[in-house]
Amino acid sequence: MEEKKERALLVGLNITSTARKTDDIDINESMAELKELAKAAGAEVVGSLIQNRQSRDAAFYVGKGKVEEIKAYSDSLGATVVIFNDELSGAHIRNIEEVVGIKIIEVCRRAGPLEGAPCCCFYLAYSKADLPFDYREK
């Protein structure tokens, strides 16, 4: 029996305020990298959305209106998971899951085993469990 692939909707936040911007990652490069990471993890990428904001929303990361758009778009695409291009707080994940109703994955960028080497990992937040699930390239 063949394992069913996750159908992933990718979401990126483009912080437009230079005072609040934490890095100089180009949003298009970030989304292209996210697409490749999702595919490498076995997901089928079915769509993507980018939100331009001056800062992160305290409750919904990309704003409540964008989360409602994510819900409608993910439903229309038959997405089974939403993958964000940045780290989310526990409150962000919980709030977004309550609206969207499917799994939320965040991508965090940290220094890897070699000093300064990037290491990307996915953390999967389940609606009913706080157990992290991560993919790491070994």
- The DSSP call for residue 129 is B
Check residue 86 and report its DSSP letter: S
Q: Which long-range contacts (CB under 8 A, 24 or more apart) does 26-34 make?
A: 30/85, 31/85, 33/120, 34/10, 34/83, 34/85, 34/107
Q: What is the pLDDT of residue 84?
A: 95
Domain range summary for the chain, segments of one domain joined by +: 7-125
More confident residue, 18 or 70: 70
Instruction: Indicate whether 67 pLDDT > 70.
Output: yes
- Distance from C-alpha of 9 to C-alpha of 86, rounded to nearest angstrom: 14
Here the contacts of 132-136 (C-beta below 8 Å, separation 24 or greater) are: 135/37, 135/40, 135/41
pLDDT score recorded for residue 126: 33
pLDDT tens sequence across 13-41: 998 876 544 555 689 998 999 999 899 88
Q: How far apart are CA 127 and CA 28, in angstroms?
A: 29
Instruction: Report CA-CA distances (Å) from 46 to 9, 43, 74.
Output: 6, 9, 9
The architecture of the domain spanning 7-125 is 3-Layer(aba) Sandwich (3.40)
Instruction: Record the pTM.
Output: 0.78
pLDDT of residue 5: 87
**What share of the chain has pLDDT > 70, as a percent?**
70
Higher per-residue pLDDT: 60 or 4: 60
